[in-house]
A and B are shown apart, each in its own frame.
Chain A
Amino acid sequence: MNGFLVQQPGLLSLLQDRGRYGAHNLGLTTGGPLDFVAFGWANRLLENEFNATALEIGFGGLTLEAEVETSFAITGAQAPCALNGESLAQWQTHDIGVGDKLEIGFVSQGTRVYLAVGGGFDISPSLGSSATVVREKIGGIRGDKLQAGDRLPCRSSKTARPCRLPAAVRPEYGQSASLRVVLGYQHAAFGPAQQWRFFNSEYRLTERCDRMGFRLEGETVHCDLVGMLSEGICHGAIQIPADGQPIVLMNDRQTIGGYPKIGSVIGHDTARLAQLTPGSSVRFEAIGIEQAHSIHCLERARFERSSLRLEPI
């Protein structure tokens, strides 16, 4: 099948759908887009299915040559984009023809760019998902990040409704974020003073942030537990090892682990965390599970009603 030919693969370009679910019993993690909000908008602009496969381009640097006539949209981190050398806007649909060259430069704001094509990339699923997890060698093409010469299959699918997402609705990628945390797991083993410190201090992103987890540094936090049994880790869980520095566990986390956890960052905020660069500052805010559900429903409703917000072009 034709599609797109990878000329320059970029630093970490991964084919992703929303993730692999129901395979934790084999020890497989979920994968999927770190910023599912930007991923969702890219597919939405093209009226793709909710779970269509798109590209997560970590830090940019990707060049593709089209072998089909189709439409595409680029969302997420800000990066210079060009079609045959001509500058191109993000957060809207564009058409592309056979032989055209699409360049996505290196990111200037945020870390993950998303590229969706009409109908999605055509990748056969492994255990129900196309999500690439390099550590597990599963999903995408060869279970690996893109390499020069790879072919990204997709059919020809030009959108009948070219549109853009108004600027006011687009996420902003800054240098700081407040992350909402559902208290849980071993939170009771962190005493009141430790919890106060955790929720009232500023933490910085270290260089050691990847798809498994984001390591932060700042005020140390300790808990009274010793010799914990390993247990299941959910998305966004904040693990605090003996050094007292928190790690937020992301999409490619290992499924079980034995470090104490104070709670879990909600999905909408891990998406924002994922777009921050090392040195950025974050704060944590404790919320209850009911409030987390309200936030989820509100964001979901906003997204569902998004067809009302798209501007025709």
Chain B
Amino acid sequence: MNIEVAGQNAFIVYFAEQASAAVSAQIQAAVRNIRAGMQDCLVDLVPSYASLLVIFDLDRCDSYSVRRQLRDALQQLDAADAAAGELVTLPVYYSSESGPDLEIVAERGGLSVDQVIEIHQQQEYRVYAIGFAPGFAYLGEVDERIAAPRLATPRQKVPRGAVAIADRQTAVYPAMSPGGWNLIGLCPTRMFNPERNFSMPVKVGDRVRFEAIGRDDFIAAGGEL
């Protein structure tokens, strides 16, 4: 573990060279310790794949005291606590109607469309980071057989709820936006809801499973085509 300066009021803690479930669990434990230890000296935290950005309040503390608090917080990472995040199941309507790139992903892997759908559901994913846009959760890692590079030309409009793959990452688009990921289905669950207290169904460190639903169930759950 390595504490580096990031800016005038920020440190970044590097936990490992690569992302993994174990590293993610460590970061979650560190988040809890740092929140408890730094209290109102803490301005914000940005957990990501293998790092944690810690932003502190320059009017309440200085870099010496923060560095020390971080060292303490990182020494006692509770492995028991670090077990695993919550398991969240997200329904997906997989079809060529809702996932225009399903066939491309299948072709790349020498698979049938049904196999792609099956493989995407087989795995439990970890929420490694949230960013890019409000509510955009980076999930890893998808089976190598369905990994697919980003589109050469990003789409101008990716619909809200689009379930997508880029390399070995998968995600649900929280809102309509431009995007270059491969679209394989639609999820009716709102990933980010500004009207409802900005709630999100997942947080960094949680585990996610996808579950196929039919067209009717998708519509019934509030999905739009």
Spell out A's residues near B (CB within 8 Å). Answer: 21-28, 30, 126-127, 135-138, 143, 182-185, 229-237, 254-257, 261, 263-264, 266-267, 289-290, 292-293, 296-297, 300
Contacts and interface: CB of A to CB of B under 8 A. Distances in A.
Given A126-B194, A229-B49, A293-B63, A256 B132 contact: yes
A232 B53 contact: yes
B107 interface: no
Which of B4, B10, B62, B198 neighbours the largest number of chain A CB atoms within 10 Å of its CB? B10
Interface stretch (B40-48, B85-93, B152-160, B216-224): B40-48
A237 B7 contact: yes
A136 B132 CA distance: 11
Contacts of A264: 6-8, 10
B38 interface: no
B133 A27 contact: yes
B29 to A, nearest CB: 16
Interface residues of B, number: 41
B179 interface: no
Contacts of A126: 194, 198
Which are the 7 A-B pairs with shortest beta-carbon distances? Answer: A232-B53, A232-B46, A264-B7, A256-B131, A292-B8, A184-B5, A234-B10
Interface string B3-26: 011111110100000110000000
Give the secondary structure class of A's interface.
mixed
A289 B52 CA distance: 18
B5 A183 contact: yes
B192 interface: yes
Contacts of A300: 59
Given A230-B138, A261-B6, 15 more contacts: A21-B43, A23-B44, A25-B130, A25-B204, A138-B194, A182-B8, A229-B49, A231-B50, A233-B46, A234-B53, A255-B130, A264-B7, A266-B8, A289-B63, A296-B8
B8 A232 contact: no
21 contacts: A24-B46, A24-B55, A26-B192, A28-B134, A126-B198, A182-B7, A184-B6, A185-B4, A229-B51, A231-B12, A231-B48, A232-B6, A234-B6, A254-B133, A255-B130, A257-B131, A266-B7, A289-B8, A290-B63, A296-B58, A297-B58
